[in-house]
Amino acid sequence: MKRLYLILAISALSLATFAADWDSANQLYAEGNYADAAEQYRAILEETPRAEVYYNLGNAEFKQGEIARAILAYERALRLKPNYPDCKHNLQFAQAKIIDNIEDNHRFFLAQWAEAFRNLLSEATWFQLSVVLFFCFLICAFLFAFGRSIALRKTGFHLAWITLLCSVVMLCCAASLHHRDTAREEAIIVQGIVNAKSSPDKSGTDLFILHEGTKVWVGETVNGWCNIHVGDNIGWITNSALERI
Amino acid sequence: MTKRHKIVLLLSALLLLPFFGSRTWADDVSFTASAPKQVVMGKPFQLTFSVNHRAKDLRAPEMPEFDIIAGPYSSQSSSTSFVNGQRTSTFSLTYTYTLMPRKEGSFTIDPASIVVGGDTYRSNALKVTVLPADETPAASNSGPQQSAAPATSQPSSNRSGGDIFIKTQVSKTKVHEQECILLSYKLYFAGVDVAQFTNNTKLPEFKGFLKQELEQGDVQTELEHYNGRNYQTAILYRTLLFPQKSGDIEIEPANFEAVLRVQNRQQIRSIFDDFFATYSNVTKPLTAPGITIHVQPLPAGKPAGFSGGVGSFSLSSSISSNSITTNDALTVKLSISGKGNMKMVKTPSIDWPDGFEVYDPKVTNNFKSTTAGVSGSKDIEYLAIARAAGDYVIPAITFSYYDTNDNTYKTLRTEEYTVHVARGAGETDQTVVTTGTYTNKEDIQKLGTDIRYIETKPLPAEERKGAGLTGLWWLMYLVPALLSLLLFVLFRKQIRDNQDLTKVRYRKANKVAQKRLKKAAKLMNAGQDAAFYEEIERAAWTYLSDRLSIPQANLTKENIADILRSKNVSDERIQEVTDVLSTAEFARYAPAAAGSKEDLYNATAKLIDNLESTKI
C-alpha cells in the first residue's frame, strides 16, 4: 500500500514538472525561439509521449523549416490521438510543402477508404466497440434462439448477423492498427535528398530519387539498408535516411 | 704580373677613380672560367678566367693533362655609360692561357682562385673532352690543312675535301604507345663553311605522332668525333613526338638546304690571293634519312576509367571546406603532376552526390617541354553548390595511367571527403520553391494560410486508455461466448423438457379420458348425478387440453371452436365438441332438464373416439 502511495506521489510530482516544462516550452515557441522549444518538447516526450506534445514539436520543427521532422511529429501525434483536427490540418499543410508528389493512385479506392475508416478511431476504441457489439450479438442470438414469436426471432436473427459482422470489422480495424503500431512499417524520409538503389549497397544502380518528408513503407532490413515501397517504386535506402513513425 | 700590366692597371685606376666614388669591392664579384667543351688532340685551345673587378694574385689550378704553351696574358676593359641620368659601369679583367692537350679523354679543370679587395674568390670548374685527332684520310683529296678549325674559312681550294651531312637521331626506337621520344636533326660538317640555311626546309609530317615543339634556342656548334674525323655539329631542329598508334611507324626523310661559302678557283697565284680571294655562295641540298619507330601497343588489362596517361604521375587533392551551408559553393582541387603525355590526360570526373549543383571544372595546365619530355602539372578545380542539407560523401577521384618505369597500369585515388551541409538561414522556402511539383500543387494550396497554433492548454492528466489487442484480449470474446453457450444449452434442455411434457400428455390423452369415462360410468351406475356430470366435463376438457397442447386455463367454450378450426378440424366435429361441452355444463347446473345420462356418456365417448382418429 505504501508503495502505491509512493508511486502516486512520484507520478504527481513528475506531472507537475512536465507542466512547468510544457509552459516554458510554449513560452519559448511564442517568443519565436523554435529550436529551444523543440528541444524542450523532445525532453518531455522522452518521459511521457503525448499527442499534444508531438503536435507542438511538429509546429516548432515546421517553423524551423524542418518539414520532414514536422511531418514525423504530426504523424506520431495522430497515432496517439487519431481525432485531432488541428494536427490533421497542419500535417496536410506540411505535406503540401514537400517535394515528392506520390499519389496513391495505384491503390484501389476501396482500400483507401478502408484505411481512412480504420484511422478514424484508436486501436483501443475499436477493440472496446468490438467487444460491446459482440455482447449485442450474443443477446440477439438468444433472442433468435428462444424468441417467443416469429417476428421477435426474425428480428433477433438479423440483428445478430449485423452485430457480429460489425464486431468482426471493428476487430479487424483494431488488429490492423495494432500491426501498424507494432511493426512500424511506415517511415518518413528525413534526409534532404536520397537515392534509392537497386540493391542494399552503395554500388547498386540508382533507381529513383526521394526528397525529405515523403512517406514510405519499410520492408526488410539488410546491413543497415532497408527495402522501401513508395507508390509503385521499390528500392533500397540507408536506414539513416529515414525515420520510422 | 708583368710590368706593363701594372702600369696599365695604375693608369686605369687613376682614370676611373672619380667614377668609382664610394663603390665597394664587395658587391657582385663574378669570377668565371671558360674553355671549349671539346678540343682536338694536338690542337691548342684557350682557357680564360674573367673577373669583373680589379683583382690580383690569380692562382691557376694544376692541369696535368694539359701543357701550358702560352700565357697567362691579361687584358682589361671598362666602359661607363649614362642612360637617363643613371650611370652604369662595367669592368672586365681577363687572363688567357693557351693549352695543349696531352692525351684523349674527359678531364676536369679545377677552379682557380683570385683575390679581390682582400677576399678570395673561386671560379667554376670546367669539363673538357679531348677528342682524338683526325685519322689520316685515305682519300687523296684531303689536304694537309684540312684539320684547321672548320668554323673559320679555309684557305683550301679543295672543295671536295669538306664533308657535310645530317643525321636523324631519336632517343628511343622501341617505345610504347603515347610514350615520348625526342627526335633531332643534327648537322655534321667538317672542312666546309656553312653560311646559312635557306627556308627551303621540308620536315616530314610525322604521321601517327603528336608533335610537341621544343624551343629551338640558339644553334651552338660542338665538336664531335665521328668515323675517325672531328666534325662540328649543330642541332638544326628537335621535337618531342608521342606515337598515337601501335605498329612500325616510319618517319619520312627531311630535306634541308644549306648555303655553303666556297672560294672561287683562281689560276692567278699571288701573295694577295688570300687577302683578296673571292667567295661565292653555293646552295647544297641535304637529306636527313628517315627512321622507323617500333611502337608497342599498351598491354591488355586497361583498368576501367583509364585516363590515357602514359608516364609517371602523382595525384594530390584538397577540399575547400568540410562543413558548409546550403547554397554555398564547394571546391575540390585536384592536381595531377608528373611526366608523360600530359596533354592527352583526360580530366577525371567526380561522381557528385545528388543535392549538388555541379559546374564544369576549371583546368589549368602548367606544362614544360624539355628534351627529357613533357612534365608539369594539370590543376583541376571542381565547383559545386550544395542545394539540400544533409551529410554527403564525395567519392574518391580515381586516376589510372600506364607507368613507363614499371611497365604496368597504376591507379591512383584521392581520399574520400565527407561534407556536412547545414541548412542555411532563411533558406527554407527556397528549397521548396525550386521544385517543379510545388507549382502543380498550388491549386490546392490556400494562399495566406499557416499551420495552426500550438496547443497551449495545460496537458491533460494521462487519460486512462483502454488496452488494445494486448495480452489476453481474446478472452473478452471467448468468455462471453462460452457463457452464452452454456446458457443456451441449459435453456434448450428446459425447453425440451417442457416440450416432452406436452407430448406425453398428448400421447396419454385418450388413456386419461377413458379412465375418466370409466369413473363416470361407475358414478352413473351409483346414481351420483352431480359427480357424474363433473367427471364427464373434466374428461372432455382435459382431453381437449392435452390433445391441443394448450393449458386448460387458456381454453374456454368460446375460443375452443376457433382453435379447432385453425387446426383444420371439420365443422361436424366442432359441433360435436361444443354440443358435448355445453350439454355437460348445462347438466351440471340443471340436472333435471338434461337428457339421459347414457346419451351424454355415449356422445362423449364417441367424440373422444372421433377426435382420436382426427389429425390435430
Indicate which CATH number applies to the domain containing B169.
2.60.40
Once rounded to an integer, what is the mean pLDDT over residues B361-377? Answer: 85
pLDDT score, position B145: 39
| Statement: residue B501 has pLDDT above 70 | yes
pLDDT score, position B151: 35
Nearest CA in chain B to A18: B459
Contact B465 A15 (CB under 8 A): no
How high is the mean pLDDT of chain B? Answer: 78
Instruction: Please list every residue in chain A whose beta carbon sits closer than 8 Å to the beta carbon of residue B390.
Output: 191-193
Bridge partners of residue B351, in order along the sequence:
none
Q: Buried b vs exposed e over B490-526: b needs ≥16 C-beta within 10 Å?
A: eeeeeeeeeeeeeeebeeebbeebbebbebbbebbee
B201 and B228 Cβ atoms separated by less than 8 Å: no
Asked whether residue B465 is domain-assigned, the answer is: no
- Mean pLDDT: which of B116-125, B316-325, B562-571 is highest? B316-325
Q: List the 58-117 stretch of A: residues with Cβ below 8 A of B.
A: 59-60, 62-67, 86, 89-90, 93-94, 96-101
DSSP-derived 3-state class of residue B368: strand
Question: Closest by alpha carbon to B536, among B582, B592, B574?
Answer: B582
Bridge partners of residue B370, in order along the sequence:
B373
Once rounded to an integer, what is the mean pLDDT over residues B334-343? Answer: 86
DSSP H helices, B328-465, are 428-433, 436-440
Q: Are residues B229 and B171 in the same domain?
A: yes
d(CA A126, CA A117): 11
CATH code, A186-244 = 2.30.30.40
Per DSSP, the residues of B8-37 read HHHHHHHHHHHHHTT--S-TT--EEEE--S
The one-letter code for the residue type at A197 is K
Q: How far is B448 from chain A (nearest CA, A)?
A: 12
Query: Of B459, B478, B479, which to mutate for an interface test with A (greatest number of A Cβ within 10 Å)?
Result: B459
Of A23, A64, A127, the CB nearest to B468: A127
Q: Are residues B285 and B362 in the same domain?
A: no
Nearest CA in chain B to A62: B451
Domain end, chosen from B389, B406, B422, is at B422
Question: Closest by alpha carbon to B236, among B177, B190, B273, B196?
Answer: B196
CB count within 10 Å of CB B90 equals 10
Q: Buried b vs exposed e over A197-224: b needs ≥16 C-beta within 10 Å?
A: beebeeeeeeeeebbbbbbbebeeeeee
Once rounded to an integer, what is the mean pLDDT over residues B14-39? Answer: 64
Asked whether residue B70 is domain-assigned, the answer is: yes
B431 and B388 Cβ atoms separated by less than 8 Å: yes
| Statement: residue B537 has pLDDT above 60 | yes
Is this prediction's ipTM beyond 0.90? no
pLDDT score, position B61: 80
CATH number for the domain spanning B67: value is: 2.60.40.10
Question: Closest by alpha carbon to B417, among B444, B386, B442?
Answer: B386
How large is the angle between the packed helices B571-589 and B597-613, nearest 10 degrees? Answer: 150
List strands edge to edge, sheet with A193-197: A206-211, A193-197, A233-238, A225-230, A215-222, A186-189, A242-244
Bridge partners of residue B458, in order along the sequence:
none
DSSP-derived 3-state class of residue B182: strand
Asked whether residue B436 is domain-assigned, the answer is: no
| Statement: residue B265 has pLDDT above 70 | no
- Sort strands B417-422 and B323-325 into parallel, antiparallel or unpaired: parallel
Share of chain B above pLDDT 70, in %: 82
B8 Cβ partners below 8 Å, 6+ apart?
Answer: B76
Nearest CA in chain A to B448: A93
| Cell, residue B226 | 665521328
pLDDT score, position B3: 56
Give per-residue pLDDT as tens, B134-149: 765 544 343 333 333 3
Of B388, B481, B491, the CB nearest to A192: B388
Q: Are residues B13 and B53 in the same domain?
A: yes
pLDDT score, position B441: 45
**Cα Rg of chain A, angstroms:** 23
Q: Are residues B352 and B395 in the same domain?
A: yes
Once rounded to an integer, what is the mean pLDDT over residues B374-378? Answer: 87
Share of chain B above pLDDT 90, in %: 1
Tell me whether the omega of the peptide bond preceding residue B72 falls within 30 degrees of 0, making it cis.
Answer: yes
Asked whether residue B519 is domain-assigned, the answer is: yes
Q: How far is CA B516 from the centre of its chain?
A: 117
pTM for this predicted structure = 0.43
pLDDT score, position B6: 60
The one-letter code for the residue type at A54 is Y
Asked whether residue B217 is domain-assigned, the answer is: yes
CB count within 10 Å of CB B229 equals 20
Of B451, B456, B457, the CB nearest to A62: B451
Determine whether B413 is exposed, middle or buried from the number of CB atoms within 10 Å of its CB (0-12, 13-18, 19+): middle
Q: Are residues B126 and B251 in the same domain?
A: no
Q: Locate cell 504527481: which residue? A: A12
Query: Of B387, B455, B489, B498, which to mutate for an interface test with A (greatest number of A Cβ within 10 Å)?
Result: B455
A78 and A51 Cβ atoms separated by less than 8 Å: yes
The domain containing residue B197 runs over which residues?
Answer: 159-296
pLDDT score, position B24: 46
CA atoms within 13 A on the CB side of B46: 10
Of B353, B452, B459, the CB nearest to A89: B452
B593 and B535 Cβ atoms separated by less than 8 Å: no
Nearest CA in chain A to B430: A65
B201 and B155 Cβ atoms separated by less than 8 Å: no
Q: Are residues B64 and B167 in the same domain?
A: no
A203 and A189 Cβ atoms separated by less than 8 Å: no
pLDDT score, position B367: 85
| pLDDT < 50 positions in chain A | none
Contact A128 B469 (CB under 8 A): no
A123 touches chain B (CB under 8 A): yes
Question: Closest by alpha carbon to B234, among B274, B188, B277, B283?
Answer: B188
pLDDT score, position B464: 60
pLDDT score, position A165: 95
Nearest CA in chain B to A44: B459
| Cell, residue B245 | 598508334
Contact B476 A134 (CB under 8 A): yes
Q: Are residues B573 and B505 in the same domain?
A: yes
| Cell, residue A92 | 496536410
Per DSSP, the residues of B331-351 read EEEEEEEEEE-GGGPPPP---
Nearest CA in chain A to B422: A192
Q: What phi and psi, each to the nearest 5 degrees, are found at residue A128? A: -65, -45
Q: Locate cell 400428455: which residue? A: B505
Determine whether B149 is exposed, middle or buried from the number of CB atoms within 10 Å of its CB (0-12, 13-18, 19+): middle
DSSP-derived 3-state class of residue A70: helix
Give per-residue pLDDT as tens, A44-68: 888 888 888 999 999 999 988 888 9
How many domains in chain B? 4
Report the first-to-last Cα separation within chain A, whole angstroms: 39
pLDDT score, position A159: 93
d(CA B106, CA B169): 23
Higher pLDDT, B51 or B138: B51
Q: Are residues B203 and B291 in the same domain?
A: yes
- At residue A214's C-alpha, the angle toward residues A208 and A219, to 5°, is 75
Asked whether residue B470 is domain-assigned, the answer is: no
A235 and A206 Cβ atoms separated by less than 8 Å: no
d(CA B478, CA A182): 24
- Sort strands B417-422 and B390-394 into parallel, antiparallel or unpaired: antiparallel
Asked whether residue B148 is domain-assigned, the answer is: no
Specify the fold of A2-95.
1.25.40
d(CA A148, CA A155): 12
Asked whether residue B97 is domain-assigned, the answer is: yes
A204 and A165 Cβ atoms separated by less than 8 Å: no
Q: Are residues B267 and B332 in the same domain?
A: no
Sign, CA torsion B382/B388/B394/B399: negative
d(CA B179, CA B371): 13
Contact B437 A99 (CB under 8 A): yes
| Cell, residue B606 | 364417441
Q: List the 204-233 stretch of A: residues with Cβ below 8 A of B.
A: 209, 211-212
Instruction: Please list every residue in chain B whose beta carbon sits closer than 8 Å to the beta carbon of residue A195.
Output: 353-354
CA atoms within 13 A on the CB side of A175: 9
Q: Are residues B50 and B121 in the same domain?
A: yes
| Statement: residue B276 has pLDDT above 70 | no
The one-letter code for the residue type at A193 is I
Once rounded to an integer, what is the mean pLDDT over residues B580-594? Answer: 76
Determine whether A118 is exposed, middle or buried from the number of CB atoms within 10 Å of its CB (0-12, 13-18, 19+): buried
Q: How far is CA B109 from the centre of its chain?
A: 57
DSSP-derived 3-state class of residue B423: coil
Q: Are residues B553 and B585 in the same domain?
A: yes
B384 and B352 Cβ atoms separated by less than 8 Å: yes
Contact B451 A89 (CB under 8 A): yes
pLDDT score, position B269: 59
A179 touches chain B (CB under 8 A): no
CATH number for the domain spanning B510: value is: 1.20.120
